[in-house]
Amino acid sequence: MKSPDNVAPFVAIDVDYERRVRESFSRQGLMKHLGARLTELEAGRIEIRAAYRDELTQQHGYFHAGVSGSLADCACGYAAFTLMPPDASVLTVEYKMNLLAPAEGEELIARARVVRSGMTLKVCMADVYARKTDAETHCATMLATIMCLRGKPDRR
């Protein structure tokens, strides 16, 4: 029942993708407002983290599912964006997220990777972990469809 590894090593067609991703991320008012930081970035993979604050909670004091969703969606979008050409914009078509455990901890970590990289559409997965000291709890998983809009550079 062994499956072939479905995480191919992707190659970016734009060598300057890191600068492009960081610049776009810095323009997202919401990420700043949530205290989110882009902590890892490579072709086809992104990690985003946010420290615990009362401003990010749901009614029981855990991280709100909306924060998990925002970080995971953003990580999926930029994981896809690393593989796009310089003249393209990135657009989330849709995503689905399952919540697996309460997001309780000092930090929320969203890790996304591209699963299938088509010309127009890229399918991505993200997993969200809540870190407490050194232990990480897997608290959510996302499956997302991201679109590449050619000829519309990603500017405000």
Q: Could you list the residues that contact its own copies (CB under 8 A)?
A: 1, 3-4, 6, 24-25, 27-30, 32-33, 40, 42, 45, 47, 53-61, 64-67, 69-71, 73-74, 89, 91-101, 111, 115-116, 120-121, 123, 125, 127, 129, 136, 138, 141, 143, 145, 147, 154-156
- Residue 35 CB, shortest distance to its own copies, in Å, is 10
Residue 62 identity: Y
Q: What angle do CA 81, 43, 128 make, to 5 degrees?
A: 75
CB of 28 to its own copies, least distance (A): 5
Q: Looking at beta carbons only, is 71 or 83 nearer to its own copies?
A: 71
- Using CB atoms within 10 A of its CB, is residue 53 exposed (0-12), middle (13-18) or buried (19+)? exposed
CA–CA separation, 84 and 156 (whole Å): 18
